[in-house]
Amino acid sequence: METAGTETLIWTGSYTADRNGNGEGIGAITLDIDGKLTSLGLAVPANSPSFLAIHPTLPVLYAVAEEGKMVRAYRRTGTAELEPMGEPWPAGEAACHVATDPHGRFIVVTCWGDGQVILYELDHDGAITSRTSAEAAVDPHQTGPTDEPRPSRAHSSLMLPDGRVMTTDLGHDLARVWRYEPGQGLLPDHHVILPKGSGPRHMVRHPSGTVFIDTEYSIEVAALRAEPQGVYELTAVVPASVNKAFHGDSAAEIAMSTDGRFVYVGVRGSNRICVLKVGAQGTDVTPLADVPSGGDWPRHHLVHNGWLLVAHEGSNDVLSFRLDPETGLPDGPLGRMETGSPSVLVPAA
């Protein structure tokens, strides 16, 4: 995480006019040790760069254009400035997430609109050089010809320590695991079936190896564990909230405390952050408390250096909360900054 004195630089994605948002592109903000948030302005104009990912070693950032069905690399040119790096590459309908391989070999884009999972290989400068679509998902809950077809909705990817990649499909209630083959893209390894209608969305990996997934539709957290052979299994599904889910709610981001003791799930609609405690072995979670997010439509949140930052798409702001290291509970908000339709918060590296 890059710090300038006592401040941390954070890139912000946004929704822009092409998706009825108030953003202008990729922005830059700083977080200081007291939780104060300061805008550094627009890093580069872009159309609905709703999700961002940084290269692990180079001053390069990747952004999806959700409405434009593209992904593009950007090169850092100053403290908080970016410039386009090469031409945009085509993605799928409603490309909503991008993640980088920790070795800098590729990025993966997942597309909510048409279910595509797409791998883009990178060169030594971090530029995109190729594009390969992975095998389409098949709905495991479609048991007969009379069942109503459900669209595939790929939503996020997670890089696993052994080099494999896990992706979620909230339309088909799947977590899929892939092997990367240079020149061939992502090849199917195996998949895990989640309860029908749950809607697996985003993921976070615990140091113990458990992958926790928040479910957009059922407002739950699913735990996946790998057997010694590397095959993941669904081991638990628990409510994200100590309270019930309210009409119109949908889960958004899931994040973990630095020490792995707590998990945080954002819920849009009722606008809260659900705090869950991780079990001693890291294999399960238990709902602990619900805290108001402090704004409207918490699309994304970030845990960093003892702070919880929440990006509210609806109220056009980012808020900071101090996290109690013992209880895991947020205190605040202690800082607030206005910015148009924020959609993601990514610390600069």
The 3 state secondary structure assigned to 21-55 is CCCCEEEEEEEECCCCEEEEEEEEECCCCCCEEEC
**What was the pLDDT predicted at 187?**
98
In the prediction, which pLDDT does 244 show? 85
pLDDT in tens, 186-218: 999 999 999 999 999 999 999 999 999 999 999
pLDDT digit string, tens, across residues 281-297 = 999 999 999 999 999 99
Q: Does the pLDDT of residue 6 top 90, yes or no?
A: no
* Residue 1 clears pLDDT 80, i.e. is over it: no
In the β-sheet with 128-133, what is the strand arrangement from edge to edge? 95-100, 106-111, 117-122, 128-133
- C-alpha distance from residue 160 to each of 13, 69, 70, 205, 207 (Å): 24, 26, 25, 8, 11
pLDDT of residue 145: 79
pLDDT attached to residue 2: 53
Q: How far apart are CA 269 and CA 198, in angstroms?
A: 17
- The whole-angstrom separation of Cα 278 and Cα 259 is 10
Q: What gap in Å lies between CA 297 and CA 271, rounded to an integer? A: 6
Distance of CA 175 to the CA centre of its chain: 15
217-236 per-position pLDDT tens digit: 999 999 999 988 899 999 99
* Residue-averaged pLDDT of the chain: 96
Tell me how far apart the alpha carbons of residues 267 and 193 are, in angstroms, rounded to a whole number.
23
Task: Report pLDDT for 47.
Answer: 98
Please give the average per-residue pLDDT across 321-336, as a whole number: 96
First to last CA, the chain: 5
Answer whether residue 5 shows pLDDT above 90.
Answer: no
Q: Does residue 25 have a pLDDT over 80?
A: yes
The answer, yes or no, to whether residue 3 has pLDDT greater than 80, is: no
Is residue 146's pLDDT more than 80?
no
Contact 11, 42 (CB under 8 A): no
Q: Is the peptide bond before 333 cis (omega within 30 degrees of 0)?
A: yes
Report the sign of the C-alpha dihedral through residues 53, 322, 291, 210, in that order.
Answer: positive
32-76 pLDDT tens trace: 999 999 999 999 999 999 999 999 999 999 999 999 999 999 999
